[in-house]
Amino acid sequence: MSQLSFSSLDLAAKKKTTKREVFLGEMAAVVPWSSLEAVIDPFYPKMGRQGGRRAFPLTVMLRIYCLQQWYQLPDPGAEEALYDIHSMRAFAGLELGRDAIPDETTILNFRHLLERHDLTKAIFAAVKEHLEARGTLLRGGTIVDATLISASPSTKNKERQRDPEMRQSKKGNQWYFGMKAHIGVDATSGLVHTAGVTAGSVHDAKVMDNLIREDDRAVYGDRAYASERKKRAARRAGVVWAVKEKAKPGKALTRYMRAKNRRFGKVRAKVEHVFRVMKCQFGYRKVRYRGIKKNGAQVFTLLALANIYLARRKLAAA
C-alpha cells in the first residue's frame, strides 16, 4: 500500500466533494484504460531503456493526456495543474513527495507520439468497439453534421501569415476562419461512430458519404445535406432519407414539408449533444495548434471522450 503525504491525508478528511472530483471519479471508472493502453503500448518507450531517463508509466501519461482534453490544458499548464490541484494528481496516480511529476517536455513528447503514429484515431476506434461490446452504440441509422472550429487569423508569427491549412467559411451572414469537424452519429444512442476533419471551406455534403455506415437504414441531416440525387439513390436502396427539405428559389416550403422537417429535427437534435460536450463541457472552441493533422488528432480524442461522457451512466450501470 502506497503511503500518503500529510496534505493528501488532510484533503481526504475534507467534508465537501468538488464537481471536479465527481467528474474525474466517474471518468476513472468508465474509461476503458486497458484497451487504450494496449493501443499505445507498442509505440511507447519501454521503462528502463538505456541512453535516456526512466520513462513514466504509460497509465500516468495517458491520464494526464485525458486531463489536457477535459480542461483544455497546454503542456506547461498541465504540469502546473499537477503541482497545484490534488484531484488531478490523484486521478493520474501521482503523489507529491513520493512521485516525480512529468514536466512539460515529457507531456509534449507523449502528445507528439500519439500524433506521429495516428494513435488518436486508434483510440477513437477502441472506444467505439468498447461501446459496441456493451450495447451502448447501436446500428440502424446515422445523423450527419459538422461544426466549425475557429483558428487564430493573426499573422503575428514567424511566417507572418495565417495557418495555410485553415480556410474561411460563411455561416449565415458571418465568416469564420478555421477547420470543420464532421461526424456521423448513431440515431438511436446519439454516440459518434465515424469522424473526420477538413478545412473550413469544404462543404458538408462533400464528406457525407464517408460518415454513413454500409448497413444504415436511415440518414438524418440538416438542409446543408439536401440532394435530390442522393435522395433518389437512398430510396432505391430502401434507406429512409430523413434530411431536412430545403426551399427552392422563389418557393416556400409546404405545410407537409415543414411538419416533416420538425419530425426529422427531433431525431437530428441528438448530434448537437456531442458538440455541446466537446465545446461547452470540454471547452474546445478554438484550435490549439497549426495544421489539420495536429488539430485533427485532438478532435478524435475529444470525440472518443465525449462518447464516454455521454454513455457514462450506462457504462457505470453495466
In this prediction, residues 235-241 reach a mean pLDDT of 93
Residue with the bigger pLDDT between 109 and 318: it is: 109
242 has a pLDDT exceeding 90:
yes
Strand 174-186 to 218-221 pairing:
unpaired
The secondary structure of 33-74 as a DSSP string is HHHHHHHHGGGSPPTT-TTSPPPPPHHHHHHHHHHHHHHT--
In this prediction, residues 62-66 reach a mean pLDDT of 98
Looking at residue 250, its pLDDT comes to: 83
Looking at residue 170, its pLDDT comes to: 81
In this prediction, residues 230-245 reach a mean pLDDT of 93
Question: 138-290 — its CATH code?
Answer: 3.30.420
**Any idea which of 97-101, 118-122, 199-203 has the lowest mean pLDDT?**
97-101
9 has a pLDDT exceeding 50:
yes
* pLDDT level of residue 7 (50, 70, 90 thresholds): low
Q: How many helices (H) and strands (E) does the chain have?
A: 14, 6
Looking at residue 1, its pLDDT comes to: 45
Cβ atoms of 119 and 113 within 8 Å: the answer is yes
16 has a pLDDT exceeding 90:
no
The Cα-based distances of 201 to 166, 170, 278 in angstroms read 8, 8, 21
* pLDDT level of residue 173 (50, 70, 90 thresholds): confident
Could you tell me which of 223, 235, 205 has the C-alpha nearest to residue 261? 223
195 has a pLDDT exceeding 50:
yes
For the chain, percent of residues with pLDDT exceeding 90: 75
Looking at residue 50, its pLDDT comes to: 46
**Any idea which of 26-40, 75-89, 152-166, 246-260 has the lowest mean pLDDT?**
152-166
Looking at residue 48, its pLDDT comes to: 52
Q: Where are the domains of the chain?
A: 6-117, 138-290
Distance between the two ends of the chain, CA-based, in angstroms?
A: 29
In this prediction, residues 196-222 reach a mean pLDDT of 94
- C-alpha span between 24 and 27 (Å, rounded): 5
The grid cell for 8 is: 493528501
Q: Which residue has the cell 405545410?
A: 255
pLDDT tens for residues 183-193? 999 999 999 99
* pLDDT level of residue 316 (50, 70, 90 thresholds): very high
The Cα-based distances of 238 to 15, 54, 216 in angstroms read 59, 58, 10
* pLDDT level of residue 202 (50, 70, 90 thresholds): very high
DSSP for residue 286: B
DSSP for residue 158: T
Partners of 182 in beta bridges:
146, 196
- C-alpha span between 145 and 271 (Å, rounded): 7
- C-alpha span between 186 and 137 (Å, rounded): 7
Q: How many residues does the chain have?
A: 318
For the chain, percent of residues with pLDDT exceeding 70: 92
* pLDDT level of residue 52 (50, 70, 90 thresholds): low
246 by Cβ neighbours in 10 Å (0-12 / 13-18 / 19+) ranks as: middle
Average pLDDT value for the chain: 90
The residues, ordered by sequence, that sit 6+ positions from 282 with a Cβ below 8 Å of its Cβ are 69, 70, 71, 72, 302, 305, 306
* pLDDT level of residue 53 (50, 70, 90 thresholds): low
pTM: 0.90
Cβ atoms of 185 and 274 within 8 Å: the answer is yes
